[in-house]
Structure 1
Amino acid sequence: MSANPLVGELLLGVHAAAVWYCTGLVWVIQLLVYPGFAQMVGPDWIAVHARHTRLMGWLVGGPWAVQGLTCAVLLVWRPDGVPLGAALVAGLCGAATVAVTVGVSVPCHQRLARGFDPAVHARLVRTNWWRTAAWTLGGAVALVMIGLAA
């Protein structure tokens, strides 16, 4: 589909970089940050959580937007050799991260912002595996698309 293969390579490279940045970040959150929340409980919890939420927005916002934009482009324009099915899987993975974030993670964080709750914390850690899996699969699909590009 591409008139210029360099444009397709750039698109796939930017997409893969954004997805793998988010993938690495979500694994650090899943294995280190969220479990560590339980050790931060105390009089400073609300301030600690507020700082986490504020900084996390800055850390993930840009790359996540780039992932979404590049997914959207790949759904309508792909480099030669990249099938629509691969772009659809990438898009579904990206959509899953948004759905879990909006539907589960944000409500958990809103509750935790008012005070630590062990049950809500456990739900956040447990359901964040869904985002971790979606970003990891999305990263794998990004690498497959690079490999398939002619």
Structure 2
Amino acid sequence: MFSLSSKGNYGIAAILELAANYGNGLLQLKDIAQQRKIPKHYLVQLLNGLLKTGLVRSVRGNKGGYELNDDPANVSFLKVLEMLEGEIELEKSYPANDAVKELFKGAEIEIKKIFDITLSELLLRQQQYDNNIMFHI
């Protein structure tokens, strides 16, 4: 079954924090960790991995930090997810070549379609969600 690991959950949270801050300068590690409740030592590992992919860039020093290397409107959530978790492959989990395998392949295609939105679109959805929260007493 497809599920996100802690690497995926924390990595997505960190990328969304960087995407939300895009164009406003660098974010320091401690600020990302605090905002998204990610253990700092784990965040360092995640960001180092994302640096290698070119998705994130960093600047060292007192005024250094991290930022998304491209506009969130140009970055696919699916791409980020697959960088963190590997390719989504449901059909390979079913060995036979029959209708069930075909069903898994169809599900894989649909999941990828749903996840193939930009980080900007995802942030907009989150803003709409945050604005629609209702409190009941």
Question: TM-score if structure 2 supplies the norm length?
Answer: 0.29
Bigger share in helix: 1
Question: TM-score if structure 1 supplies the norm length?
Answer: 0.27
